[in-house]
Structure 1
Amino acid sequence: MSKLIKPFITAAIFFYSANSFASSTLHYWQQANIDWRSEAGSHINILADEQPAFTALKPYIPLFEQLTGISVGFHALEQSQMRARRHQDLSEGLGLYDVLPMGITFLGEAQSQGWIEPLQPYLDNPKITDKTWYQLDDISDRSLALCKINDILYSLPFDFSAPIYFYRKDLFERFNLKVPDTYEELYATKIKLQRAIDATPDLIGMHAFAARTLPGAGLNTWTVLPVMRAYGAQVIDEQNMSVFNSTETAQSLRVYRDLATGYGNPDNSRLLHFYEIRRLFKQGKLASAFLASHFYNEIDTAEESNIWNKWEAAPLPKGPIARETSPWAWAFAINSKSNKKTAAWLFIQWATSEQTSSLLSTGGSPPRKKVWHEKLFTLVNKPGFNTTMLWVFDHATADRLQAGMVEFPVIGEIISQAFSQIFYGADINQTIKTTDKKINETMHTFKSRSEN
């Protein structure tokens, strides 16, 4: 598809009011052998994050209401506010929201407390689910894995992403630079690129590279952990004991610190939120960065970005042990205190179906393989990015710490603060030694609570 017409098609799809769709449009969902109207007259409340995928979903909710007769309250909040509201609703058993956004970092706590419903009974109920139509096996195994604990499904993904390496293809060609394959090559590229930028008058003010540094479980941890694993480092072992204090950890954190701070990085690199990194790249003030793969949707049309035809992407570099990344899926779960669980399930089935996923590809990154192969690989038209997404679908695995562990929010905060201290110049060996002790003490506390 021509890049000249894609902006108009994308805009038309995204901004077209769902109310203006002809009733015949509903036939896509009506092909399912279920009674969508079984809960007509009921009302459900949806909590959402102010991420692009959720924003893309909102205009189409009237389609769901027209299809089912279920009215929907859709409440999108900034991520930190959403997390606080979600925790309050679930921990206090308020039942305010029937459907909740779920990510891997919170899944363990929510499941362990019985706050969310196992979804297999809903999937197995032929009165409310058409398995043949829904095609669960079309959803990426890697994204489904982020929604399970002990192989039991507790949420369904509708947006799937992982950190990858975005870069300005035009600048790499202009300065005769190769896409780095290792972290050592990336560091050398950062320095060469910044020197070339500094010597080019029309690029003054641009920086070569940025990656997450801001502390917070799910913030800097999301891009630091895959670098650790690439060097053979882990936070905890299979016995849930800390192995953070290792030469591999020290080496990987030194590499990340040198990549994310110093010459070639924005002056405030230690304080950059990922939203700010996105903005800098989008505005042409950043030549490369580690960013979530679903970022492509924010920069791939002329209306969205002035570098829409200048970017490309590659997998994260490899370390001496492996090439890793940190997959993430935004998913929907059912509040165990909901009084409208069947209606909530109908919404989740609709929101994660192939048809809806195709619509949401204008703002999200659907986990459905068919949508990518039949639509997005042609629409995006970036060979490097497309190859990278195939790599993400085939190889992205979560860190053990992030794989639905109840302890992650606490342990993640501990290690994220350690990372931040190192970025500000703290001694690496002493910091990881102290942090190792904190991790073990915290894990022991969690174990004692569970035994009591």
Structure 2
Amino acid sequence: MKRQIHSTALRRIIAVTAGAGTMALLAGCAGGGSSQGPETELDGFDWKNFEGTELNLLMSEHPFSNAIKERVPEFEELTGIDVNLETLTETDYMVKLLTELQSGAGSYDAFMTSQPMNFQYAAAGWIEDLQPWVDDDTRTAPDWDFEDFYPALIDSLRWDKTEFGGAGEGELWAIPVNEEGYSLFYRTDVLEEFGVEPPETIDELVAAAAELDGKTFDGKEISGFVSRGDKTYPTLNPFSTFVLGHGVQDIVDGKAGVNSPEGIAAAEDWVELMQYAPDAASTYTWYEAQQDFIAGNAAMYIDADHMAPDFEKSAIGGNVGYGLPPEGPAGRGSSMWVWSLGMNADSPNKDAAWQFIQWASSKESLTEAITAGNMNPTRVSVGQGDEMAAATEGWGDYNEIWQEILSDHAEWAYTPSAAWPEVGDIWTTELQAAVLEQKTAQEAMDDAAAQIDQLIEE
């Protein structure tokens, strides 16, 4: 699985972290660790300042890590730092990284991470606050340009671990290198054939899915819609467009808000929409949903916007429209997933690790990574650059839509906590029960809220 955290790996992380006090972490209690920022003085920035250091890095197999791995010799020549970069399948990487961080041995100096991982690692004191490094002009290259990152991405990687919630505030736990928001995809040829306009709102989306469901196109019967339905928290990624469209808050004043009137309305709309998806969609992860859409079996689909390369190189290429997340009573919204680079708080080589992080997240590195399929760039200058325009030529409005989602509609949609994946699993398990018509949407959301409240109380 190349884009989302594997749910099995996350469950193993949650299980182990719970033994160290996950419930305390849910309330925002800080752990130990040695995240203290730079400790020695330098005369000024120089890429050769830490020549002779040996770095050990761990990353998930991903277009970004593939691109960086090819260019490691350039970094070694620039800095005189020797790099050992290990990449593993996502599940193996997640488990190994957790084990290494728990040991406190500092075996890996830097690693790939993401928002839920940051919450867990920061609460336990395993990951370094990078803001002091950003602010130190003796350690940060003068042309690195921190202000060039999309502000929403930087906000999503900030969290005050001493506060319940605190999204977009406090320490900076990682530097973004890959982003995805959530877009409405639709088959332009299918909609044109049946005279259906691309939907702009949640109500229009449900109506269009009902209109198109069961139609025959290109010799096969199609469903009106498809998306993830698996009972694990990654299903919240596409569902986040309904969550934010209805103005739902998962936690309000320390209590679950998933069964608020807005939460129930979001669930009811999603449940109705999923009735026009294949029966098996209630168990789909992103992979099965994507393959269903690529196979031409569905007219519309909500998921990660950077799936576009997979669509465009398939048989449906040239016939996919890219739309903003559907508008609800509270407007448009999309959560986001941000692959990033973090520093081990126990690393003995923090200065060299920071040089690698800023080099790997530089304008040049992110531009080079486009050709390896690292969509979407996390810097404004790269996202709006010629290379990105060339790479997405012929993809309809994709290059404009993903940037509009990121600039105007994307945010981390949920309350940060070390146990957030558990909260997400509870929510999506009950949402699946409603989709399967085992419960009403209100019953499902009430049950989810009761379980989440119990989790918080514990």
The alignment's TM-score, normalised by the length of structure 2, stands at 0.81
Structure 2 gaps of 5+ residues are 1-43, 160-168
Q: What is the letter of the counterpart of residue 244 of structure 1?
A: V
| Counterpart for residue 40 of structure 2 | none
For 1:8-407, what aligned pairs fall within 5 Å after superposition? 34-131=45-142, 133-149=143-159, 150-196=169-215, 198=216, 200=217, 202-204=218-220, 206-217=222-233, 219-237=234-252, 239-260=253-274, 262-263=275-276, 265-300=277-312, 304-362=313-371, 363-364=373-374, 365-375=376-386, 376-381=388-393, 382-399=395-412, 401-402=414-415, 404-407=416-419
CA deviation vs aligned residue, 1:282-313 (integer Å, no higher than 9, x gap): 3444432112122123334xxx3233322220
| Counterpart for residue 438 of structure 1 | 451
Aligned partners of 1:236 and 1:400 also within 8 Å: no
Aligned partners of 2:154 and 2:176 also within 8 Å: yes
Aligned partners of 2:63 and 2:369 also within 8 Å: no
CA deviation vs aligned residue, 1:218-241 (integer Å, no higher than 9, x gap): x1122223312312322211x222
Q: CA deviation at 1:145?
A: 0.7
Q: What is the letter of the counterpart of residue 221 of structure 1?
A: L
CA deviation vs aligned residue, 1:182-213 (integer Å, no higher than 9, x gap): 112112212322333x2x3x341544421121
RMSD of Structure 2 on Structure 1 (CA) = 2.2
Q: CA deviation at 1:378?
A: 4.8
Q: What is the letter of the counterpart of residue 140 of structure 1?
A: Y
1:419 to 431, 434, 438: 431
Distance 1:282 1:195 in 2: 17
Distance 2:140 2:412 in 1: 32
154-163 or 61-70, larger mean C-alpha shift: 61-70
Structure 1 gaps of 5+ residues are 1-32, 446-452
Distance 1:287 1:245 in 2: 30
Distance 2:226 2:97 in 1: 31
Residues 161, 240 of structure 1: alpha-carbon distance in 2 compared, 3 angstrom cutoff: same
CA deviation vs aligned residue, 1:154-198 (integer Å, no higher than 9, x gap): 1100111111112222322233221101112112212322333x2
Distance 2:66 2:228 in 1: 23
CA deviation vs aligned residue, 1:393-413 (integer Å, no higher than 9, x gap): 2223435534x3233122122
Residues 257, 137 of structure 1: alpha-carbon distance in 2 compared, 3 angstrom cutoff: same
Q: CA deviation at 1:110?
A: 1.3
Q: What is the letter of the counterpart of residue 411 of structure 2?
A: A
Distance 1:83 1:216 in 2: 17
Q: CA deviation at 1:358?
A: 0.5
62-71 or 102-111, larger mean C-alpha shift: 62-71
Q: What is the letter of the counterpart of residue 115 of structure 1?
A: W
160-169 or 419-428, larger mean C-alpha shift: 419-428
| Counterpart for residue 29 of structure 1 | none
Q: Give the match's secondary structure for 2:214.
A: helix
Q: What is the letter of the counterpart of residue 393 of structure 1?
A: L
Distance 1:412 1:259 in 2: 20
221-230 or 314-323, larger mean C-alpha shift: 221-230
Q: Give the match's secondary structure for 2:108.
A: coil
Aligned partners of 1:36 and 1:346 also within 8 Å: yes
Number of residues of Structure 1 aligned to a counterpart in Structure 2? 401
Select the structure that is richer in helix.
1
Q: CA deviation at 1:47?
A: 2.0
Q: What is the letter of the counterpart of residue 430 of structure 1?
A: E
Q: CA deviation at 1:371?
A: 1.2
| Counterpart for residue 5 of structure 1 | none
Q: What is the letter of the counterpart of residue 342 of structure 2?
A: A
